[in-house]
Amino acid sequence: MKKTPLPALFLVIITALVYLPNIGGLTYFKDDWYYIYDGLIGGAKIFHEMFSIDRPARGYFFEWYFLLLGAKPLAWHIGAYLWRTLSALGALWIFNILWEKEKKIAFISALLFAIYPGYYWWMSAIEYQPMITSLALQVFSIAFTLKGLQVEGYRLKVAYAMGAVLTGWAYIALVDYAIGMEVFRFLAVYVMIARRQDTNSTAARNKFRVTVKRVRDSFYALNGQLLIPIGFVFWRTFFFNNEREATDIGLQLGAFFGSPISTGTRWILQTLNSLLNMTALAWVNQFPRFFFELRMRDMAYGILFAILTLLAVFLARKTSGGDSIRAAESNSTLRESALLGGLGLILGILPVIMANRYIDNGVFSHYALPASLAAALLVSSLIHSISMPRIQSAVMYIVILFAALTHYGISISAVNEARALEKFWWQVSWRAPALASDTMLVIHYPSANMGDDGNGATELPNMIYFPQSSASIPVHYNLSAITLNDTNLREVMLGKLYMETDYRSHTVNLNYENVLVISQPTPTSCAHVVNGNAPLISFDDPASVILAAPSSNLENVIANAQPHIPPNFAFGDEPERNWCYYFEKADLAAQLQQWDEVTALGEEAIKLELHPQDQSEWMPFLKAYAITGNDKRMKQTASKIGIETVLRLQACEMLTKIEEPLRDDVKDIIATHYCKNAQK
């Protein structure tokens, strides 16, 4: 490490350019929400309950982390970045030990590992914090092993060996499927042993014998470090009572022995699929998925940071002895790196495949993280094997460019999703001061990316409306929430299902008999808390919302309660009080039948020149205008609603069902401006 200060410095700069530009906007992502909410109301000890069924080491990890960082998302993201950078520096250390005279292939291999774009979940800094920590421990454990072979003196060798064993147990305890990278450790030792032995005069017929001797010497060189995989497997098999099927070794192997041909064939196909995803597709498939979804301004910033990244790579290569890579390389280095990368990758992902999982570049991309060290080395060796220096450099820069743009796109996507969720729940808090316990929220988000039940749909409202600590573990959620799909919609419409469910460290009851529908039809619409007796339906609401709307019980909104304010650390500052603020407050006042207040809110919004993008949001104001006899505003609102038949019909039905006595001129306006036009 001391011999390569400039490459290490450039590696830190590059990781900062790739991972830090949008870190200030990242908050919680997907399942991060339940980690934080359970920790907030159950305390740091709750993480032991969370992971007691499969990975108890994570319980201690999260307990210490939560006590240190609390619920502040930025601290968790900084922590994840630091672990990622440390793992990159550790990889540089490994490759410099293996190929001391080949600085460029060592640097590029470490760089590709640092910016590996196949790992999608890096913006989920809470749930995946132990994964990225495990990766850094894994890399340094292997580096300690290799350094121990280099140093002289018994004490140093023992110290490095102990460091390797302790960090080795730690990284596997956090991520059990990473145990496959112990093969990479062995292969790296084999490369070092092979280089030490002079085989130039060895006859071809003795190559097999030489290989056997090297394998034996490699096992001897590991000595007590074989305790890393053996010790973990022994503990896992004989001492730990695993309660989760997905991490039960015996159960997963039982599937193979029960049907060896079909299971074996599936494993082979999943291996090929995973290898393809980790090599070629990881570098090219993610780029169009994320980058081309950006706005032009974000694209421009992404390109700027990518250019700065390429400039840093160029300078790093120049400072290590010129831009030509082939001039300093040997064929043996390429063979070794390809062997180590290829075999390390195949055998490194084997535990994932044997657990009947596979690796993709999305939901299951975290399974790729341990073996990404080998994948990056393999890709690096393939790039460096290109004989024409200019083409070699061009391919390398294109690969790095795609990775940098991909990560920028991933971070912007996460930031946009976080902002949309914050906007949605702030609007709900304006509309609903409090929610009744045992309510099941039926939520329609404006984006498909947000519409996943695992995206904190339940934890977000609980964090706002029920932030109180709990003395019981597992903790119980007072509110449940679902997003609409075909199965959920059917049960909502039937309204008879009641399920008591539990997951790791919490319980939640799904009460389909007592739902509250909340819909945000488009990103520019406001959140609509639906009254089942008189549902406000937008032209952009999907059919599922229209069908679920009559089941919505507005009494679940406690309208006259003290308002619950979303906590700043999770939802940010209160957004600008634009049209949606006045709409939500007017809709709340309408629930309380405070029609003068609704009218006053409308006048204030009009004075501020605010107006809705979704014209259905005029409905509470329109009803107030009718009841208060404001014929002028009724006529103006008719023109604002426009010629949309759905809205005209909805307005006609709403206005004709008003129970309060209406003036004759108001009735005439309803008949001529709303109901007559709606029937055309």
Could you read off the pLDDT of 288-304 as tens digits, one per residue? 888 988 999 999 999 99
Given CA atoms 68, 72, 73, 74 in this order, what sign does their dihedral have?
A: negative
What is the DSSP annotation of 380-443?
A: HHHHHT-SSHHHHHHHHHHHHHHHHHHHHHHHHHHHHHHHHHHHHHHHHHHH-S-B-TT-EEEE
Query: Comparing C-alpha atoms, which of 61, 343, 393, 74 is closest to residue 182?
Result: 343
Q: Taking 80 as the threshold, does the pLDDT of residue 253 lie above it?
A: no
Q: How far apart are CA 330 and CA 341, in angstroms?
A: 17
Q: Give backbone dihedrals phi and psi of 59, rounded to 5 degrees, phi first.
A: -60, -45
Query: Comparing C-alpha atoms, which of 37, 25, 27, 121 is closest to residue 457?
Result: 37
pLDDT of residue 647: 86
Query: Comparing C-alpha atoms, which of 453, 473, 479 is closest to residue 564?
Result: 479
What is the DSSP annotation of 476-490?
A: EES-EEEE--HHHHH
Q: How far apart are CA 518 and CA 431, in angstroms?
A: 11
* Whether 504 contacts 42, CB under 8 Å: no
Q: How far apart are CA 81 and CA 440, in angstroms?
A: 37
pTM score over 0.95: no
**DSSP assignment letter at 557:** B
Query: Comparing C-alpha atoms, which of 602, 625, 622, 616 is closest to residue 644?
Result: 616
Q: Tell me the pLDDT tens digit for each residue of 170-216.
A: 999 999 999 999 999 999 999 989 877 755 444 445 777 878 888 88
* Whether 493 contacts 418, CB under 8 Å: no
Q: Tell me the pLDDT tens digit for each residue of 399-442.
A: 999 999 999 999 999 999 999 999 999 999 999 999 999 999 99
- Residues comprising the chain, all counted: 680
Q: Which domains does the chain have, with CATH numbers?
A: 5-30+72-413 (no CATH), 432-575 (no CATH), 576-680 (1.25.40)
Q: How far apart are CA 208 and CA 585, in angstroms?
A: 81
Residues forming a β-bridge with 510: 499
Q: Taking 60 as the threshold, does the pLDDT of residue 583 lie above it?
A: yes
Q: Which of 53-67, 368-382, 635-649, 662-676 has the lowest mean pLDDT?
A: 635-649
